[in-house]
Each structure stands twice: as C-alpha cells, then as structure tokens.
Amino acid sequence: MVLEGSERELVEACRRGEREAFRALFEIYRDRIYSIALRYSGDEAAAMDIAQDTFLKLFASIHQFRGDAAFQTWIYRLVVNSCFDHKRRTRRLVPLAAGFLATLRASADSLADLLRSEVRTSVRTAVDRLSPALRMVIVLRYTEALSYEEIAAVLGCSQGTVASRLNRAHKALGRRLSHLANGGNRHV
C-alpha cells in the first residue's frame, strides 16, 4: 500500500498521479515546510502563500526528481526558493510595524505577558532585519535543526559559507538583542 511504503515508493506513486500518495507526502512535509515559511517570513499569511506555492511546485515537478540528492533536500530547496521568490514579490516596507502590531495583539494582562511579548517581538524584529541569505541559514539551523552539511546541500554552497553566514548572523543578532540578555528578560 502506498501510504505505508517508503519515500521512494511514495514518489513513484505521485508520478503515477495517485491522489493518496500526494496526500501522504503532504502530511509528511506540511509542518516542516510551513515552519520554514513562517519563521522566514514572520507572517502567517505569507507563510500560507509560500507553503501553498511550494506544494504546488512539488506536485507539478516531482517527475523531475532524479534522486541525485536526498528527497528531503530537494523539498527544502523548493521551499527556500519559494521564500526568496515571495520576498522579492512582496518586500516588507516597514518590518518594525509588524512587530508593533504583534505587540498590540499580544495579551497584556500581566507583566509576564508584556515581557514575553517584548522578547518575542525583539527576536522576531532582529531576525527580520537580517539579509535573506543570513536569515535562511538561521531558520534552517534553528527551526529544522539541520547540520552545516545539510544546510550547504540545500543552499548549494560550501560548509564554510554556511559557517561564515551563521557567524555573521549570530554577531548581528547578539548586537541587536544584547539589551535582552543584560536586562534579565530571559525565557519569560
């Protein structure tokens, strides 16, 4: 049965146009793709757009998958490209405004809520301000817990480049979030 088979069998079934196989593949990757999209874009509506776009590309081009790379790597490449394409189409003019609106939406019933909201907004804003290349490395590392080798395979660059980008991103984030580290708002 397709749904109980390996990933290779699923891919083959998708190529044959079996609807159950598409659904099974969707269920395997839906959370991972949506998570990358959400953590990269910082916006639920944009994440839905990106995830939808990724799955449509996946189903439309699955016959092009040659098996040269791991299937998971191939899917990660699709979502990474969708993220970059989406960012090019809809540049966020005022990222800080999103953070401000998120703060307004957050519950402010208690001091703990306020602090939690401040930390969340600060981290989100700091990540938003990273360049797309640095932000994607951070998302793949912390959302998907990929190794340097896996990130390099997804992005098509060397592990040295991955290490360099991570280092630059960490330094930038460290500078922008130093007030939280020193202010005692840790994990509220």
Partner 1 sequence: MSEWLELELAHRLAPVRAPEQLWHLVQTPGPLANVRRRPVKTVLLLAAAAAASVWVAAAWRPETSSVQTISLSANPSESHIACRACHTD
| Stretch binding partner 1 (CB under 8 A), from 48-56, 63-71, 95-103, 150-158 | 48-56
Write down the least CB distance from residue 59 to partner 1, Å: 8
Find the binding residues for partner 1 in span 50-89 (CB under 8 A).
51-52, 55-56, 59
Strand (E) or helix (H) holding 57: helix 44-61
Q: Of 143, 159, 161, 164, which lies in the binding site for partner 1, with binding defined by CB under 8 A?
A: 143
> What whole-number distance in Å separates Cα of residue 84 and Cα of residue 78?
10
The residue to which tokens 């306020």 are assigned: 114
Residues 157-176 binding partner 1 (CB under 8 A) are 170-171, 173-174
**CB environment 122-153: b (16+ within 10 A), e (fewer):** bebbbbbebeeebbbbbbbbeebebebebbbb
Asked whether position 14 contacts partner 1 by CB under 8 A, the answer is: no
Binding of residue 179 to partner 1 (CB under 8 A): no
Residue 119 in the binding site for partner 1 (CB under 8 A):
yes
Which residue in 141, 129, 126 sits closest to 181, CA to CA? 126
In Å, how far from its chain's centre is CA 122? 18
Contacting residues toward partner 1, per CB under 8 A: 23, 26, 30-35, 38-39, 45, 48-49, 51-52, 55-56, 59, 119-120, 123-124, 127, 138-139, 142-144, 170-171, 173-174, 177, 180-181, 186-187
